[in-house]
């Protein structure tokens, strides 16, 4: 029985994540592209559509650039792809910080995806209106009451945030709403973010993490005690889905031996 609402408070159990360590960020992007293609093919074969949530960040950008290359793009039936976002910065869609702009320029402008299937968070609107508007859009796309994304792409900040669930803020504790807006002083701006009850409805979560500046946090998140207020990324635990971490050697440097080998 899927009950993502029960996952919002950080009390739920999760399946063991799979951790895959690769030599370089380029290989992380390549492995992610393979998984993206496979997830799209499986979802389209099973249900006729593929719903994916994109993330901001540098490692996803490398993935998007790869998927935009004709040899990769041709492997996906873009007419059946529905794109959402895990989070957005509260800026206009053409702003240099916009996650939508990054994904559009790196990927969406280069593939034949119908415009109506690109569901962006409206960072240019009043955040208190943009969050419930996106929640309505998501709930219309997932009328069964579970945000059953086939794939949710996520990154991890070196402070333990994921999507725009930041340490010490309330979004990570949300138990009912799928989308919230929050002022994040740490980055000096408002953010819109999917919440754990939404993200934990996904069939598959794929974390992309690269770089030595992530090594200490990755070890803390995967090997240390659970504390979702300090380490919001630990709140991501799909109720009926898988979690895979694709990490490069540098980011994996401080993981326990058992972790690195798995």
CB of 211 to ligand 6PG, least distance (A): 7
Separation of alpha carbons 202 and 35, rounded Å: 15
Assess 117 for contact with ligand 6PG (CB under 6 A): no
Assess 234 for contact with ligand 6PG (CB under 6 A): no
> Considering only 23-31, 56-64, 120-128, 240-248, which stretch makes contact with ligand 6PG by CB under 6 A?
56-64
Using the structure block, give the residue that is written with the tokens 């889905």: 241
Pick the closer one to ligand 6PG by CB: 6 or 30.
Answer: 30
Using the structure block, give the residue that is written with the tokens 């408070």: 9
CB of 87 to ligand 6PG, least distance (A): 5
> Rounded to 5 degrees, what are φ and ψ at 181?
-115, 140
The answer to whether 68 and 107 are in contact (CB under 8 A) is yes
Residues 152-171 interacting with ligand 6PG (rule: CB under 6 A): 155-157, 161-163
Helices (H), 69-202: 70-73, 99-106, 127-141, 196-199
CB of 233 to ligand 6PG, least distance (A): 9
List the one residue from 8, 39, 50, 59 that touches ligand 6PG (CB under 6 A): 59
The answer to whether 84 and 103 are in contact (CB under 8 A) is no
Pick the closer one to ligand 6PG by CB: 24 or 58.
Answer: 58
Q: Say how many residues touch ligand 6PG, by CB under 6 A.
A: 14
- Binding string, 3-42, against ligand 6PG, x = CB under 6 A? ----------------------------------------
Cα atoms in the Cβ-side hemisphere of radius 13 Å centred on 212 = 0
SS3 85: strand
Separation of alpha carbons 173 and 240, rounded Å: 20
Assess 174 for contact with ligand 6PG (CB under 6 A): no
Question: Two tokens at 139?
Answer: 């709930």
Helix (H) or strand (E) segment spanning residue 88:
strand 87-89
List the one residue from 87, 135, 150, 182 that touches ligand 6PG (CB under 6 A): 87
Contacts with ligand 6PG by CB under 6 A lie at: 55-59, 86-87, 99, 155-157, 161-163
């Amino acid at each position: 029985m899927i009950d993502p609402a029960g996952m919002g408070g950080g009390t739920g159990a999760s399946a063991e994540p799979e951790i895959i360590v690769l030599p370089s960020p380029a290989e992380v992007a390549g492995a992610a592209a393979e998984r993206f293609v496979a997830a799209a093919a499986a979802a389209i074969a099973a249900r006729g559509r593929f719903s994916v949530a994109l993330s901001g960040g540098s490692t996803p950008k490398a993935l998007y650039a790869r998927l935009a290359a004709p040899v990769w793009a041709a492997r996906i039936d873009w007419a059946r792809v529905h794109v959402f976002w895990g989070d957005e910065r509260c800026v206009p869609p053409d702003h240099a910080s916009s996650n939508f702009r990054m994904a559009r320029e790196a990927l969406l402008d280069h593939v034949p995806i119908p415009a109506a299937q690109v569901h962006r968070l409206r960072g240019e609107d009043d955040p208190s209106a943009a969050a419930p508007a996106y929640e309505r859009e998501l709930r219309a796309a997932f009328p069964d009451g579970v945000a059953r994304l086939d794939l949710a792409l996520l990154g991890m900040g070196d402070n333990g945030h994921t999507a725009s669930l930041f340490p010490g803020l309330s979004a990570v504790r949300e138990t009912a709403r799928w989308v919230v807006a929050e002022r994040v002083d740490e980055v000096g701006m408002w953010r819109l973010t999917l919440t754990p009850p939404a993200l934990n409805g996904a069939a598959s979560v794929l974390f992309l993490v690269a770089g030595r500046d992530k090594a200490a946090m990755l070890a803390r998140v995967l090997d240390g005690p659970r504390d979702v207020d300090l380490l919001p990324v630990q709140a991501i635990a799909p109720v009926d889905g898988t979690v895979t971490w694709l990490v490069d050697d540098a980011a994996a440097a401080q993981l326990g031996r058992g972790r690195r080998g798995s």
